[in-house]
Amino acid sequence: MSALRTGRYHPLAELRDEMDRLVGDVFGALPRTATQNLPYLPLVGNRPFPALNVWTTDDAVYAEAELPGLSEADLEISVMGNELTIKGQRPDIEQEGVKYHRHERGVGPFSRTVRLGVEIDADHVEATLRDGVLLLKLPKAEAVRPRKIEVKTRG
């Protein structure tokens, strides 16, 4: 029987040191300016929103985030140099004469910037949003792709 966990937690915080330090330190206390800019900053266990998974292959960096309730129109994704910014707004469902018994789903604006470890070809970034999962494919710039070096025999 699987363990039932509340919310989400991943203990591999130490992996972040493999990446360049994130712009706006996302673990632990947030810088003052970040919280002032955002009237509502949803946190899941003291981590910012959205939580990100980032992985690499030889050709590209992939970034995934869970963003339920958002459509393309609610999102703004940009790449500058090797910095990726995901900005958006979760729409509110304020209605007349509605009473909340429970209100756990955050609403409002969010913005998160991460520095990717490698140089990206910003002109060829692809983004798909499906069933609330955002997947970004950020191709590595030509210069940083691993190259096979052919060894020729001598003599």
Partner 1 sequence: MATEFNPHEPPEAEVGHAEPTRSGPVFRPNVDILEKADELLVLADVPGTQSDKIDIRFENGMLTIHAQVEPRQDDKTEYQLHEYESGDFLRTFRISEEVDPSKIGAEYADGVLTLHLPKSEAARPRKIPVAGT
Answer whether 50's CB lies under 8 Å from 65's CB.
Answer: yes
* CB-nearer residue toward partner 1: 8 or 124: 8
> Is residue 29 at the binding interface for partner 1, with CB under 8 A as the rule?
no
As a whole number of angstroms, the distance between CA 52 and CA 95 comes to: 31
Phi then psi for 7, rounded to 5 degrees? 60, -155
Interface size with partner 1, residues (CB under 8 A):
49
> Is residue 33 at the binding interface for partner 1, with CB under 8 A as the rule?
no
Residues of span 134-153 touching partner 1 by CB under 8 A: none
> Is residue 34 at the binding interface for partner 1, with CB under 8 A as the rule?
no
CB of 153 to partner 1, least distance (A): 33
Instruction: Transcribe 26-84 into DSSP letters.
Output: -SSSPPHHHHHH-S----BTTB-SS-EEEEE-SSEEEEEEE-TT--GGGEEEEEETTEE
* CB-nearer residue toward partner 1: 44 or 80: 44
Two tokens at 55? 């992985």
Within 13 Å of residue 108, how many CA atoms lie on the same side as its CB? Answer: 10
Residues of span 83-122 touching partner 1 by CB under 8 A: 93, 95, 97-106, 114, 116-117
* Among 30, 41, 60, 70, contact with partner 1 (rule: CB under 8 A): 70
Binding interface with partner 1 (CB under 8 A): 1-8, 10, 12, 15-16, 18-19, 47, 51-57, 61, 64, 66-71, 93, 95, 97-106, 114, 116-117, 129, 131-133
